[in-house]
Amino acid sequence: MVRDYSVPAIHRAVQVIELLSASHSGFSLAEVSRQTGIPKSSLFRILAALEQHSIVLQDHDRKIFRLGMKLLDWGNAALEKIDLKTIVHPHIIRMAHETRESYYLTILDGHEVIIIDRADNPEMWSIVARLGARSPVHATASGQVLIADLPEETLDRMIEQSGLKRFTPKTITSGVRLKKRLKEIVRDGYAVADAEYKPDLCAISVPIYDHNAKVVAALMTGIQSERKKKEEAIARIVRILKKEASVVSHAIGYVETAA
């Protein structure tokens, strides 16, 4: 026999919070009662308890209730405790097992990209950097993804301070060309840097978004630049990366907005 440890009053309080969260202006006691089915006498006690803890605020002049800031405080505290690496690691392990490619989690650190997690296919070890390695943003797929939505003045300052060093004949060394590439990345939702950093590496990367819809990390993989049917492989990998990045983004609070 499965025991029911639920507490009706807590369930009702959650009902009230969810209802108020959907309103910009708040609801009266009568309206909350009507929409939740909770009797006014019980509802008043619930609202009074929530108000005592600043979860709900009451506008005494208009006689309406709305959410307070306490939930925002709790939400921000939860977001600060999110360990991105812990969330992403099972995804890249599974992708590496299923596709026999290597996958990497990268973040922006100053004007460089740093790999903070990886799941390897041994065949790729010779052309992709080790865990903790740094690389330039302008010449790498993950770097381009991480700076694609930066304000133009921030990007200009980055270019001025770090330069656009040439690593291969295909490296982007023009600010105009780099900005054009970044606009394409924002439009397409992924980056491909083929032999731009290392002559034998074609890197593919997609962004991970946080609760503020900002790019906080990138998922990346690399294939041989001379790989057969490379375009087909890139298209397949982009689909895989986008799918996993979407799951991770939602797990850390990202909510897509209507176009």
Task: Say if 119 falls within a structural domain.
Answer: yes
Q: What is the pLDDT of residue 1?
A: 47
Task: Say if 14 falls within a structural domain.
Answer: yes
Task: Among 78-82, 117-121, 218-222, 249-253, name the one with the lowest average pLDDT.
Answer: 78-82
Res. 3 pLDDT band, cuts 50 70 90: low
Task: Say if 259 falls within a structural domain.
Answer: no
Asked whether residue 110 falls in the same domain as residue 192, the answer is: yes
Burial class (CB in 10 A: 0-12, 13-18, 19+), 183: exposed
Task: Say if 62 falls within a structural domain.
Answer: yes
Calculate mean pLDDT across residues 116-122: 80
Asked whether residue 142 falls in the same domain as residue 58, the answer is: no
Asked whether residue 50 falls in the same domain as residue 23, the answer is: yes
Q: Which residue has the higher pLDDT, 85 or 187?
A: 187
Give the residue from 204, 248, 206, 208 showing the smallest Cα distance to 224: 204
Asked whether residue 140 falls in the same domain as residue 235, the answer is: yes
pLDDT of 156 strictly over 80: yes
Res. 80 pLDDT band, cuts 50 70 90: low
pLDDT of 5 strictly over 70: no
Task: Say if 70 falls within a structural domain.
Answer: yes
The domain boundary, picked from 52, 77, 102, lies at 77
Asked whether residue 108 falls in the same domain as residue 230, the answer is: yes
Q: What is the pLDDT of residue 131?
A: 73
The domain boundary, picked from 34, 61, 77, lies at 77
Q: What is the pLDDT of residue 99?
A: 85
CATH number at 175 reads 3.30.450.40
Task: Say if 130 falls within a structural domain.
Answer: yes
Task: Say if 257 falls within a structural domain.
Answer: no
Asked whether residue 182 falls in the same domain as residue 110, the answer is: yes
Give the structural domain span for 42.
8-77
DSSP label at residue 148:
T
Asked whether residue 87 falls in the same domain as residue 52, the answer is: no
Asked whether residue 86 falls in the same domain as residue 69, the answer is: no
Give the residue from 31, 85, 88, 86 showing the smallest Cα distance to 62: 31
Q: Which residue has the higher pLDDT, 151 or 256?
A: 151
The domain boundary, picked from 34, 55, 77, lies at 77
Give the residue from 54, 59, 88 showing the smallest Cα distance to 74: 54
Asked whether residue 66 falls in the same domain as residue 92, the answer is: no
Q: Which residue has the higher pLDDT, 52 or 78?
A: 52
Asked whether residue 157 falls in the same domain as residue 245, the answer is: yes
Task: Say if 171 falls within a structural domain.
Answer: yes
H or E segment at 34?
helix 29-36
CATH number at 45 reads 1.10.10.10
Average pLDDT of the residues of the chain: 87
Q: Which residue has the higher pLDDT, 222 or 130?
A: 222
Res. 26 pLDDT band, cuts 50 70 90: confident
Asked whether residue 43 falls in the same domain as residue 142, the answer is: no
Asked whether residue 141 falls in the same domain as residue 168, the answer is: yes
Q: How many domains does the chain have?
A: 2
Res. 120 pLDDT band, cuts 50 70 90: confident
Calculate mean pLDDT across residues 183-197: 96
pLDDT of 143 strictly over 50: yes
